[in-house]
């Protein structure tokens, strides 16, 4: 699947998330041993939301980051946006106090400088054109606005590499097949991680898109990265 590009890749990604939508949250918790909850808290903390801050959760899926933002800053004005309707439908809860928007990350249906922060969880490795997605996030941010990106990343080789390989290529696909019945969906995860930018390269692209004060950290034995940055206060 990693050989696909352009519209073919977009359609594949939409189809994949439509098929696994109902099992998505459960699989996330199991694959990360519940750690994704901890990373989401950090992502929202790094977004630095003040009361009334406008937050975009891009590629929101079932809305876990938006929900965490609602918990940390109940007065924030939050929009959860995704291009797969089934993910949003599977995630919606009566207690949600944020809006949902069907949106493609490459052509956001929002004007310039509409958000104080844009966060994304496991979106960037799925988009067809990461540079275009970064530019769109830059465009919709106010000057001084923050971007925070959570995604899988290629770990550096170390003593744990064989175990990480087994987790990614054997355990996750087996678990995914068992729980969702969709074997290709969970071979897509390791394949797309390996095809994605390194953490260093993603930081370089963020800078090329115009972001400043860029930083990142790796977690989960180097297989997950959190990147952050700011749009210059001068725009
Ligand atoms: C792995 S899920 C992540 C969901 C959620 N953010 C999370 O943290 O669990 C990736 C999501 O990105 C969405 N996505 C992928 N490409 C997209 C695009 N170009 N525009 C909008 N959403 C996209 C998919 O539909 C899917 O819901």
Q: Which residues line ligand 1 (CB under 6 A)?
A: 13, 17, 28, 59-61, 64-65, 82-84, 87, 103-106, 121-123, 126-127
Predicted pLDDT at 235: 67
Answer yes or no: is 162 within a domain: no
Whole-angstrom distance, CA of residue 6 vs CA of residue 28: 26
Whether residue 185 is contained in a domain is answered as: no
Total count of domains within the chain: 1
- What pTM value is reported for the model? 0.93
> Tokens at residue 92, please?
């919606």
Within a domain: residue 216?
A: yes
Q: Distance (Å, rounded) from C-alpha 19 to C-alpha 183?
A: 11
Q: Say if 188 falls within a structural domain.
A: no
Q: What is the pLDDT of residue 201?
A: 96
Say what the pLDDT of residue 172 is.
Answer: 83
What is the pLDDT at residue 2?
60
Q: Which domain holds residue 225?
A: 6-152+196-231
Pocket residue to mutate for ligand 1, from 27, 43, 83, most atoms within 8 A of Cβ: 83
Question: What is the C-alpha to C-alpha distance for residues 77 and 64, in angstroms, rounded to an integer?
Answer: 15
173 in any annotated domain: no
Cα–Cα distance measured from residue 62 to residue 183, given in angstroms and rounded to the nearest whole number: 21
- CATH value at residue 106: 3.40.50.150
Does 145 reside within a domain?
Answer: yes
- What is the per-residue pLDDT for 52? 96
Closest approach atom of ligand 1 to CA 88: 27
Give the integer Cα–Cα distance in Å for 66 and 80: 6
Go through 105-141 and write b for each residue having 16 or more CB atoms within 10 A of its CB, e for each that does not: bbebebeeebbbbbbbbbbbbbbbebeebbebbbbbb
State the pairing for strand pair 115-121/141-152. Answer: parallel
Between β-strands 141-152 and 224-231, what pairing exists: parallel, antiparallel or unpaired? antiparallel
| 204 occurs within a structural domain | yes
What local confidence, expressed as pLDDT, does residue 118 receive? 98
Nearest CA to ligand 1 atom 15: 126
Q: What is the full per-residue pLDDT of the chain (235 aa) written as tens digits?
A: 566 668 888 999 999 999 999 988 988 888 888 999 999 999 999 999 999 999 999 999 999 999 999 999 999 999 999 999 999 999 999 999 999 999 999 999 999 999 999 999 999 999 999 999 999 999 999 999 999 999 999 888 888 888 888 888 888 888 878 877 877 777 888 888 888 899 999 999 999 999 999 999 999 988 999 999 999 987 6
What phi and psi, each to the nearest 5 degrees, are found at residue 167?
A: -60, -50
Per-residue confidence (pLDDT) for residue 14, from 0 to 100? 95
Quickly list H helices, 150-230: 161-166, 172-180, 183-195, 199-208
Residue with CA nearest ligand 1 atom 16: 127
- The neighbour count for residue 192, using CB atoms within 10 Å, is 19
* Within a domain: 11: yes
In this prediction, residue 64 carries a pLDDT of 97
Q: Are 13 and 79 in contact (CB under 8 A)?
A: no
């Amino acid at each position: 699947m990693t050989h696909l590009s352009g519209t073919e890749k977009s359609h594949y990604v939409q189809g994949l998330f439509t098929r696994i939508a109902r099992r998505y949250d459960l699989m996330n918790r199991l694959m990360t041993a519940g750690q994704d909850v901890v990373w989401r808290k950090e992502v929202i903390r790094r977004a630095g939301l003040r009361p009334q801050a406008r937050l975009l959760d891009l590629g929101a899926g079932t809305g876990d980051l938006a929900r965490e933002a609602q918990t940390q800053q109940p007065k924030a004005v939050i929009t959860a946006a995704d291009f797969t309707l089934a993910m949003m439908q599977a995630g919606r809860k009566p207690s949600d106090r944020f809006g949902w928007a069907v949106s493609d990350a490459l052509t956001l249906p929002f004007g310039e400088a509409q958000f104080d922060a844009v966060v994304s969880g496991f979106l960037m490795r799925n988009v067809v054109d990461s540079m275009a997605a970064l530019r769109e996030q830059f465009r919709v941010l106010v000057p001084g606005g923050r971007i925070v990106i959570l995604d899988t990343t290629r770990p550096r080789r170390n003593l744990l590499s064989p175990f990480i390989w087994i987790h990614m290529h054997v355990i996750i696909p087996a678990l995914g097949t068992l729980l969702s019945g969709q074997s290709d969906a969970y071979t897509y995860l390791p394949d797309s991680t390996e095809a994605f930018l390194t953490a260093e390269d993603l930081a370089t692209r963020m800078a090329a898109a115009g972001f400043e004060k860029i930083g990142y950290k790796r977690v989960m034995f180097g297989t997950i990265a959190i990147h952050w940055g700011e749009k210059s206060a001068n725009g």
